[in-house]
Structure 1
Amino acid sequence: MSVKTWRTPMQLELISHALCPFVHRACIMLREKGVEYSRRDIDLDNKPEWFLALSPRGKVPVLVADGTPLFESAAIVEFLDETHPPPVIPTEPFARARGRAWVEVASDLLMAQYRVYMAATQADFEAAAKTATAALGRYDDALRKGDLAADEFKLVEVAAAPAMFRFALLADHAGWAFWPAGSQVEAWARRLASRPSVTSSVAEDFAEKFLKLLADKNSYMLKTRPTA
């Protein structure tokens, strides 16, 4: 069986939204690979027809690679890893399967996080915060057991970094921290949040736009300061 040799550089265009964490995930991989790409943001409340023709689920991100549209952030990340060395996804089957499984954990965490900052009432916020804190606890357990490495940046970290970036932002700008103080997951999350590929994958005014979105959505956590 012949091995496909990819022509590089590819012409890459990322269809995106400025605040989407799944777009952030794809951007991080592009930055890690050091490849050139263009980016086109769309209005998710008024999706253009040309975009809906590219995205079967009507969601961002979509990566148009040499004219071929690819959708879903996890698939885009794997495509970029397979076509732009060096790889960050393990080749050993057990390690690769576990890495892919942690991508799903990260996606669950992002959705739990979304419910936290979009909650408009105390009851909804507390329920969502409980779920997010439990999800962060699973990362803390994995770090303490050595199931996750504290000093790597591979598939698991690419997938989780957008959530950790937003958790750090919420802690620093709104006072809400969802990890235990001094925990391994806090140190891990802040390391991911400060990585150049993570910080450079969002606009300089990301925090301002993000907090404005929460205010516009009547977010409970912006109206109430956490108790000591």
Structure 2
Amino acid sequence: MQLELISHALCPFVHRACIMLREKGVEYSRRDVDLEAKPEWFLALSPRGKVPVLVADGTPLFESAAIVEFLDETHPPRLIPEEPFARARQRAWVEVASELLMTQYKTMMAATQAEFEAAAKTATAALARYDEALRKGELASDAFGLVEVATAPALFRFALLEERTGWSFWPRGSQVEAWARRLAARTSVTSSVSEDFPGLFMKLLADKNSYMARVRPAS
């Protein structure tokens, strides 16, 4: 199967698709687009004008969740459970992961202290939901499936933010911290972004006048 991923270097939803491609070990080409000046050929492929788009044997597929499931179905071994209840629960946690990414973005883009504190409170609460699920055994700390593919881009960025800015959103020593650090360091996760990703990521925060990029946390 010939695969081309239409992408953007910083998009976490593209990151999801790349992670699954890396996990499957399949060859693919990648073409980045400028989302500030979207070309007509891209808009013809993407009904919502968003990345990622996966062109599989000439057929364009859009939306990261659909792309990830397509790749899992067409490239064994399967990561997504066959059992209906388990599969439904994993899909539900994908929605939680998408909400986490949106919360993370608001936190990163907050320009004022008040905006940042409000967004950070929501981000911390979202991560606490994962911690509770891990403690209850609803999520497995050593698993790697659809939930982890969907959530890893956010966790990778939280770890990078902590390293580069000093801001941390998970409780020290918590199960979610250990889970997040394991996923953020997984080869498929780290190799799915460019070598200059950290610099590009921090430049984005600086260009957007991000509070996180300007202010260090109190020690």
Shorter-normalised TM range: over 0.9
Instruction: Name which of 78, 81, 101 aligns with 1:87.
Output: 78
User: How far has the Cα of 1:41 moved from its partner?
Assistant: 0.3
Q: Is the counterpart of residue 156 in structure 1 residue 150 in structure 2?
A: no
Partner of 1:143: 134
Kindly provide the CA deviation profile for residues 57-96 of structure 1, in whole angstroms up to 9, marking residues without a partner as x.
0000000000000000000000000000000000001000
**One-letter code aligned to 1:52:** L
Q: Is the counterpart of residue 75 in structure 1 residue 66 in structure 2?
A: yes
Partner of 2:19: 28
Kindly provide the CA deviation profile for residues 99-153 of structure 1, in whole angstroms up to 9, marking residues without a partner as x.
0000000000000000000000111111110111110000000000000000011
Instruction: Name which of 181, 189, 205 aligns with 1:198.
Output: 189
Partner of 1:217: 208
User: How far has the Cα of 1:50 moved from its partner?
Assistant: 0.3
User: How far has the Cα of 1:227 moved from its partner?
Assistant: 1.1
Local SS of the residue matching 2:4:
strand
Q: Is the counterpart of residue 46 in structure 1 residue 32 in structure 2?
A: no
Instruction: Name which of 187, 198, 212 aligns with 2:178.
Output: 187
**Counterpart Cα distance in 2 of 1:183 and 1:173:** 21
Partner of 1:6: none
User: How far has the Cα of 1:173 moved from its partner?
Assistant: 1.0
Partner of 1:207: 198
**One-letter code aligned to 1:69:** P
What stretches of structure 2 of length at least 5 have no aligned partner? none
**Counterpart Cα distance in 1 of 2:196 and 2:185:** 16
**One-letter code aligned to 1:35:** V
Q: Is the counterpart of residue 59 in structure 1 residue 19 in structure 2?
A: no
Instruction: Name which of 94, 100, 107 aligns with 1:103.
Output: 94
Kindly provide the CA deviation profile for residues 192-218 of structure 1, in whole angstroms up to 9, marking residues without a partner as x.
000000000000110010001000000
TM-score (ref. length: structure 1): 0.95
Local SS of the residue matching 1:116:
helix
What stretches of structure 1 of length at least 5 have no aligned partner? 1-9
Local SS of the residue matching 1:148:
coil
TM-score (ref. length: structure 2): 0.99
**Counterpart Cα distance in 2 of 1:227 and 1:186:** 20
Local SS of the residue matching 2:95:
helix
Local SS of the residue matching 1:101:
helix
User: How far has the Cα of 1:175 moved from its partner?
Assistant: 0.3
| Stretches (4+) displaced over 2 A | none
**One-letter code aligned to 1:199:** T
Partner of 2:9: 18
**One-letter code aligned to 2:21:** L
RMSD value, Cα: 0.4
**Counterpart Cα distance in 1 of 2:165 and 2:215:** 9
Q: Is the counterpart of residue 172 in structure 1 residue 160 in structure 2?
A: no
**Counterpart Cα distance in 1 of 2:81 and 2:157:** 27
